[in-house]
C-alpha cells in the first residue's frame, strides 16, 4: 500500500503509538480492545481482516469458544469476534457477555459503520452519544456507529448478546 505525503502515518491517524504498532507486528504485548478497532477503522477494514487474514473455503463454521476474547471485563464479561463475512462491505459477528454494571465504551467508528445488538438473555443499556437505551432479552437495537457508544450490563443477571458491525465499502470500491 502506498501512502501519499499528505496523509499522516496510520498509527497517528488511528491514535496508536509507534511502539504499540511494533509490538503488534511482533505479536508481543496485550493491546487494549480499542487498539485493533481504531486500526481497522483507520484502514477501512474489519477487525478480523486485520487479525485473521484471508477466509478459506465457501463455508466457514466457527464455535465461539474457539475464539479468544478481544475484550474482557473486570466482572467476567467478554466480547469475542466470531467471524467476519468476506466482500467489499463485510459484516462482523460478535458474541458478548456483560455482567450487571459492567460496561465497555467504544470510540466512534468511521462514517457509514452501523452496529446492531440483539440481546438473547438478560438486559443491557446501550448508550449512544450520551443517550441511554434499555435493551432486554428478545429486543434488538441498531445505530450509526460514528458517535461514542457504550454497552452496559443491567438488571440482576448476565446479559448475552449478538452484535453485528456493518462496514461500508472502502472509498472507490464497487459492491
Per residue in 61-113, pLDDT (tens digit) is 888 778 888 889 999 999 999 988 888 889 999 999 999 999 999 989 989 99
Per residue in 139-171, pLDDT (tens digit) is 999 999 999 999 999 999 999 999 999 999 877
The C-alpha cell that represents 50 in the structure block: 486485520
Q: How many angstroms separate the most distant Cα atoms in the chain?
A: 53
Amino acid at each position: 500500500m502506498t501512502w501519499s505525503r499528505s496523509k499522516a502515518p496510520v498509527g497517528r491517524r488511528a491514535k496508536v503509538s509507534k511502539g504499540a504498532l511494533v509490538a503488534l507486528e511482533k505479536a508481543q504485548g496485550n493491546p487494549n480492545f480499542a487498539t485493533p478497532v481504531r486500526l481497522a477503522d483507520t484502514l477501512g477494514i474489519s477487525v478480523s481482516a486485520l487479525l485473521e487474514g484471508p477466509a478459506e473455503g465457501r463455508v466457514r463454521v466457527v464455535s465461539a469458544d474457539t475464539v479468544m476474547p478481544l475484550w474482557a471485563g473486570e466482572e467476567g464479561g467478554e466480547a469475542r469476534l466470531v467471524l467476519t463475512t468476506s466482500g467489499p462491505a463485510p459484516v462482523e459477528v460478535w458474541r458478548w457477555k456483560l455482567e450487571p454494571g459492567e460496561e465497555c465504551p467504544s470510540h466512534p467508528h468511521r462514517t457509514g459503520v452501523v452496529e446492531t445488538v440483539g440481546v438473547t438473555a438478560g438486559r443491557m443499556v446501550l448508550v449512544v452519544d450520551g443517550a441511554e437505551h434499555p435493551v432486554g432479552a428478545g429486543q434488538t437495537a441498531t445505530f450509526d456507529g460514528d458517535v461514542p457508544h457504550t454497552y452496559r450490563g443491567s438488571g440482576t443477571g448476565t446479559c448475552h448478546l449478538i452484535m453485528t458491525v456493518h462496514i461500508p465499502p472502502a472509498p472507490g470500491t464497487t459492491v
